[in-house]
Amino acid sequence: MERTELLIVGAGAAGISAACAAWDAGCRDVLLADRLPYAGGILPQCIHEGFGLSAFGSELTGPAYVERLAEGLAQRGVRFLPGKEVLAVTKEKTAVLSGKGGVEEIRFERLILATGSRERTVGSLSIAGTRPAGIFTAGQAQEMINLHHWRLGSQVVILGSGDMGMILARRFTLEGKQVLAVLEQDAHYGGLARNFHRCIEAYQIPIRYRCTVREIHGMPRITGVTVEALDNGKSEFLPCDTLVTAIGLVPERELIRGFEKEPWLSLAGNCSRVYELADSAAAEGAKVGRYVGKQLVK
């Protein structure tokens, strides 16, 4: 069985930073695995600017930010395994990796989980109505549009005004689509002020506060949603052909279910807690990587 001192699962901002920091702390046996065939996790699809302000001192796009991170990775001797999904870990400190090239078991001394987060989906909201085509999560829509140039729809309603919701609202607008409304249950937008100014205000995208989607209409394709005002219960039918949900992120920890308390395990980045900025996730990744790296060198 192959061995490694440090296995890092997930090569997003946190995972790459952890790998580099562990190396810099003196650990010379670092294996970084990611299920995607490239480094960066979600970042390559984040083609908007706003990354790296604190880490690199300038505002970069997601892909440019990954390039910087990847340069750091290439300068060190970290072994990077793209296209490898970690299927399982065991109490005996082994991990099963699966990819095109094969399935293998690897023994590790320490594990850093840097698997990021996943999106909450519309299914978790139990909204009344139909279950038609034309409903996407924000991350899914972003991947389809930015990495695959697919066209999702023309009349778009976005549920949730976090950063993802606002950035997607602008993205659809730039694609020539009409964003009918960004819906927010709170009385204030959910994301960063700069994203509100750059995405919502700058493009005059309608945002509605204190409201939510109560019912989905249309079958087999979505034809509209019932929007309910939370303060007075008034509802209104809003016709649309696309619904994008940006309703929050859940730390992705399925892999370590049952192992949370193991001394060989550390969490880094969004799988630990959801960060507002990739820089913060990267910084925490570096901190964890440095700490684990030092312990391994001792």
Partner 1 sequence: MKDLDVVVIGGGLLGCLAARNLCRWNLHIALLEAREDVCTGISRANTAIVYPGYDHKPGTLKSEMCVRANARFDALCQELDVPFSRCGSLMVSFGEKADAVLRKKYENGLLLGVPGLRMLSGEEARKMEPALAEGVSSALYAPTAGTVNPWELGIAACENATANGVELCLNTCVLGIGRTAKGYRIETDQEVFSCRAVVNCSGLSADSVQKLLFPTPVYIAPDAADYLILDKSAENKPAHIIQYEPEDGGKGFNAVPTVEGSLLLGPSERKNEVDFAVSKEGLSFVRERAARVLPGLNLQDTIRSFAAVRPNPQHPDGSSIGSYVIDNPDSGFWSLIGIKTPGLTCADELGRYVADRLAAELCAEERPGFDPHRVGIRRARDLPLSERVVLVQENAAYGEILCHCEGVTKAEILEAIRRGAVSVDGVKRRAGSGMGCCQGSRCERAVMELLAAELGVPVGAVRKDGPGSEILEGSHGKN
Q: Give 68 or 217: the residue with its C-beta nearer to partner 1.
A: 217
Instruction: Please identify which residue in 82, 99, 248, 251 interacts with partner 1, judged by CB under 8 A.
Output: 99
Q: Give 75 or 124: the residue with its C-beta nearer to partner 1.
A: 124
Q: Please give the structure tokens belonging to residue 218.
A: 């249309």
Judged by CB under 8 A, does residue 220 bind partner 1? yes
Q: Please give the structure tokens belonging to residue 250.
A: 């859940």
Query: Alpha-carbon distance 213 to 8, whole Å?
Result: 39
Site for partner 1 in 177-216 (CB under 8 A): 214-216
Q: How far is the CB of 155 from partner 1 (least distance, A)?
A: 10
Q: Give 241 or 279: the residue with its C-beta nearer to partner 1.
A: 241
* Total residue count of the chain as it appears in this document: 298
- Cβ-contact 216, 133 below 8 angstroms: no
Judged by CB under 8 A, does residue 93 bind partner 1? no
Peptide bond into 220 cis (omega under 30): yes
Q: How far is the CB of 8 from partner 1 (least distance, A)?
A: 18
Task: Taking the CA atoms of 282, 287, 292 and 293 in sequence, report the sign of the dihedral they define.
Answer: positive
List of residues 6+ apart from 198 with CB closer than 8 A: 170
Query: Alpha-carbon distance 261 to 51, whole Å?
Result: 33
Q: How far is the CB of 245 from partner 1 (least distance, A)?
A: 9
Nearest Cα to Cα of residue 86 among 74, 73, 103: 103
Site string for partner 1, 247-276 (x = CB under 8 A): -------x--x-------------------
Q: Please give the structure tokens belonging to residue 172.
A: 């659809």
Q: How far is the CB of 128 from partner 1 (least distance, A)?
A: 4
Q: Give 20 or 152: the residue with its C-beta nearer to partner 1.
A: 152
List of residues 6+ apart from 172 with CB closer than 8 A: 145, 152, 156, 158, 178, 179, 244
Judged by CB under 8 A, does residue 59 bind partner 1? no
Judged by CB under 8 A, does residue 43 bind partner 1? no
Judged by CB under 8 A, does residue 3 bind partner 1? no
Instruction: Please identify which residue in 83, 209, 287, 295 interacts with partner 1, judged by CB under 8 A.
Output: 83
Classify 106 as helix, strand or coil. Answer: strand
- Could you list the residues that contact partner 1 (CB under 8 A)? 35, 83, 85, 87, 96, 98-105, 118-119, 121-124, 126-134, 136-137, 139-140, 143-144, 148-154, 214-216, 219-221, 241, 254, 257
